[in-house]
């Protein structure tokens, strides 16, 4: 994400300039076409889903989109079903999808055409990089239309086909996400299931899966039975390689991820950021409470991860189970501001302090890191969390915000202000297309370390205005 090009504001221009100095780029270089960040892809990519209904296409589309946006690749889903629902206000029954229903066919083709137009718009006017076209796309003819469209516009195409013949999985899908669809608002469960299965039959007759031989010039991945097997053909570039790696690491086995910060630390008490201190006495109490809480949850095969910093390790020690230390989970490096209070930062680096409030996500501490850097270093952690089942991650405020933003699909603007208080465990359980969050405050008092964005972020502001939102401390 490059510094915002749209804003004319004087202050943000000065932000750009200072950031540029920080990056040692010339202003001109930044504005010219010289790419300053590693290139994921050099032209927009259309990801095209393929598969019968209830094969997890929308699940994959949403999850992949969430991941790509989190790693900084602007991505959007275009779900054909939604276009159809807007045109045909009320869904009657499966007969809309019969292959001999001429009128319905016309509507469905028009919807597809509109979706493609919106995709073109997303790429050209909204700086999108990846568009996920979420529809069945089960005929070679329909896929041909999409390929021609992409070729004409200069977009790359990557197909993701989900192939499943396990009736149990299909039924589970239908129960989880189809029955609650707007289409079936007025149906009871039994009727909805029957209708949906007939809907699948409508597509089945004309379904032509991607073929190793006939489609050997296309770029695609075929996912069999929720990941037991994959066929990968003609990966063209870096982003497609990353997408394939991601898809091959996700699974749908039920599990929960527990996120928590270390117990309150000595520096927390003093209102100082960063450093590598041990737990305060309240923090030690929390560690014991956490151990009890975890035991109470009766979690199967729980993995415990910490950072390399003393306070997370001390917290994990109290659990009495093996744990793994990840350097990548270390707190954001505040560089020259390490171990300072906000008051000291304001006193010694008032301009830095203001710049941070202007763009907390991209702001990098001098000789330190930014939230953007953090996301980059946490990517392998996220990838491993996707592979794992039940995990407890004991980490730090900025790190937890980044991880939470991934699971809850929060934007770069929201991420640095997510509330992650001490002594509170968040339990995340994947559900339908998203994530259920349960918050457990373990009733051990702790300081508040959350500093909201103040009203005045101008570099010329007064110290009182800068320190307006600093939480209390010793």
What residues make contact with other proteins under the rule CB under 8 A? 23-25, 29, 33-39, 212, 216, 228-235, 238, 241, 244-245, 248-249, 276, 278, 284, 308-310, 313-314, 317-318, 320, 322-327, 367, 373, 376-377, 384, 387
280 carries a ligand binding annotation: no
Strands 220-224 and 229-233: antiparallel
Q: Is 266 annotated as a binding residue?
A: yes
For other proteins, give the closer residue by CB, 93 or 241: 241
Report the alpha-carbon angle 382-366-403, nearest 5: 15
Q: Which of 161, 262, 372, 423 is catalytic?
A: 262
The closest of 245, 230, 228, 229 to 386, measured between CA atoms, is: 245
The residue among 222 and 461 lying less far from other proteins, judged by its C-beta, is 222
Backbone angles phi, psi at 298, to 5 degrees: 45, 60
> For 55, how many CA atoms within 13 A lie in the half-sphere containing its CB?
26
Question: Measured from the CB atom, is 229 or 462 closer to other proteins?
Answer: 229
Pick the closer one to other proteins by CB: 229 or 295.
229
Query: CB 51: neighbour CB atoms within 10 A?
Result: 24
Cβ nearer to other proteins, comparing 43 with 87:
43
Nearest approach in angstroms of CB 111 to other proteins is: 33
Q: Which of 95, 308, 331, 386 is catalytic?
A: 331
Q: Which of 406, 346, 342 is nearest to 374 (CA)?
A: 406
* Closest CB to other proteins among residues 200, 381: 381
Q: What are the tokens at 161?
A: 């086909």
- Residue 268 marked as a ligand binder: yes
Rounded CA gap, 74 and 23, in Å? 23
CB contact at 8 A, 450 and 419:
yes
Q: Which is nearer to other proteins, 27 or 245 (CB)?
A: 245
The one-character DSSP state at 175 is I
Residue 267, marked binder: yes
Residue 376 or 473 having the CB closest to other proteins: 376
* The pair of three-digit structure tokens given for residue 97, joined into one six-digit string: 């999808």
Measured CA to CA, the distance from residue 120 to residue 283 in angstroms comes to 53
In the bound complex, what is the minimum distance in angstroms from residue 328's beta carbon to other proteins? Answer: 8
Rounded to a whole number of angstroms, the minimum distance from the CB of residue 303 to other proteins is 8
Quick count: other Cβ atoms within 10 Å of Cβ 452? 12
> Is 308 in the active site?
no
In the complex, what is the shortest distance from the CB of residue 319 to other proteins, in angstroms, rounded to a whole number?
Answer: 11
* Alpha carbon distance 144, 166 (integer Å): 28
Name the minimum Å distance from CB 36 to other proteins: 5
Could you tell me the strand order of the sheet in which 391-395 lies? 324-325, 303-306, 391-395, 257-261, 424-431, 434-441
For the chain, give percent helix, strand, coil, nearest 5.
45, 15, 40
Is 423 labeled as catalytic in the residue annotation?
A: no
Is 185 marked as binding a ligand?
no
Tell me the two tokens of residue 400.
Answer: 């937890």
How far, in Å, CA of 57 to CA of 49, rounded?
A: 6
Smallest CA-to-CA distance from 138 within 184, 93, 200 is with 200
- The dihedral built from the CA positions of residue 396, 401, 405 and 407, taken in this order, carries a sign that is positive
The C-alpha atoms of residue 62 and residue 64 are separated, in whole angstroms, by: 6
From the list 267, 290, 269, 285, the residue with the least C-alpha distance to 277 is 267
**10 token code pair:** 């004087």
- Give min distance, CB of 389 to other proteins, in A: 12
Q: Determine the Cα–Cα distance for residues 448 and 450; give it in Å rounded to an integer.
A: 6
- Residue 263 assigned ligand-binding role: yes
Does 411 belong to an annotated binding site? Answer: no
- Least Å distance, CB 55 to other proteins, is 19
Residues contacting 38, CB < 8 A, separation 6+: none
Distance CA 115, CA 110 (A): 9
Binding-site sequence positions for substrate = 261-268, 311
Binding-site sequence positions = 261-268, 311
Catalytic machinery residues:
262, 331
């Amino acid at each position: 994400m490059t510094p915002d090009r749209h804003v004319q504001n004087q202050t943000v221009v000065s932000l750009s300039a200072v950031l540029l100095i920080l990056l040692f780029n010339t202003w001109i270089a930044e504005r010219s076409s010289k790419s300053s960040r590693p290139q994921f892809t050099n032209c927009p990519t259309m990801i095209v889903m393929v598969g019968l209904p209830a094969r997890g296409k929308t699940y994959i589309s949403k999850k992949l989109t969430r991941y790509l946006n989190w790693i900084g690749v602007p991505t959007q889903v275009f779900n054909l079903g939604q276009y159809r629902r807007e045109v045909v206000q009320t869904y009657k029954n499966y007969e809309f999808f019969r292959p001999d229903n001429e009128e319905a066919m016309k509507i469905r083709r028009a919807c597809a055409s509109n979706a493609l137009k919106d995709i073109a718009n997303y790429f050209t006017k909204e700086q999108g990089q990846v568009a996920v076209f979420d529809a069945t796309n089960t005929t070679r003819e329909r896929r041909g239309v999409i390929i021609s469209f992409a070729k004409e516009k200069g977009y790359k195409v990557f197909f993701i086909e989900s192939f499943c013949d396990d009736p149990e999985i299909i039924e589970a899908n239908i129960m989880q996400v189809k029955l609650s669809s707007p289409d079936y608002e007025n149906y009871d469960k039994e009727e909805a299931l029957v209708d949906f299965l007939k809907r699948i039959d409508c597509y089945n007759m004309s379904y032509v899966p991607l073929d190793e031989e006939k489609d050997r010039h296309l770029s695609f991945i075929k996912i069999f039975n929720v990941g037991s097997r994959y066929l990968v053909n003609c990966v063209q570039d870096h982003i497609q390689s990353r997408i394939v790696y991601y898809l091959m690491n996700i699974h749908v086995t039920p599990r929960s991820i527990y996120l928590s910060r270390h117990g309150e630390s000595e520096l927390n008490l003093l209102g100082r950021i960063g450093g590598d201190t041990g737990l305060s006495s309240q923090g030690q109490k929390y560690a014991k409470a956490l151990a009890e809480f975890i035991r109470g949850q009766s979690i199967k095969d729980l993995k415990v991860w910490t950072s390399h910093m003393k306070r997370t390790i001390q917290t994990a020690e109290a659990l009495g189970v093996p744990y793994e230390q990840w350097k990548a989970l270390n707190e954001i490096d505040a560089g020259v501001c390490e171990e300072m209070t906000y008051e000291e930062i304001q006193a010694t680096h008032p301009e830095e302090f203001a710049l941070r409030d202007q763009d907390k996500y991209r702001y990098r501490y001098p000789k330190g890191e930014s939230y953007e850097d953090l996301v980059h270093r946490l990517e392998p952690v996220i990838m491993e969390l996707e592979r794992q089942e039940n995990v407890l991650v004991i980490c730090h405020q900025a790190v937890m915000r980044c991880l939470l933003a991934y699971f809850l699909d929060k934007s770069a603007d929201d991420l640095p202000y997510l509330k992650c208080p001490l002594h509170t465990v968040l339990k995340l359980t994947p559900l339908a297309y998203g994530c259920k969050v349960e918050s457990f405050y373990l009733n051990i008092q702790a300081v508040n370390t959350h500093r909201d964005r103040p009203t005045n972020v101008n570099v010329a502001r007064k110290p009182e205005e800068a320190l307006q939102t600093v939480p209390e401390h010793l």
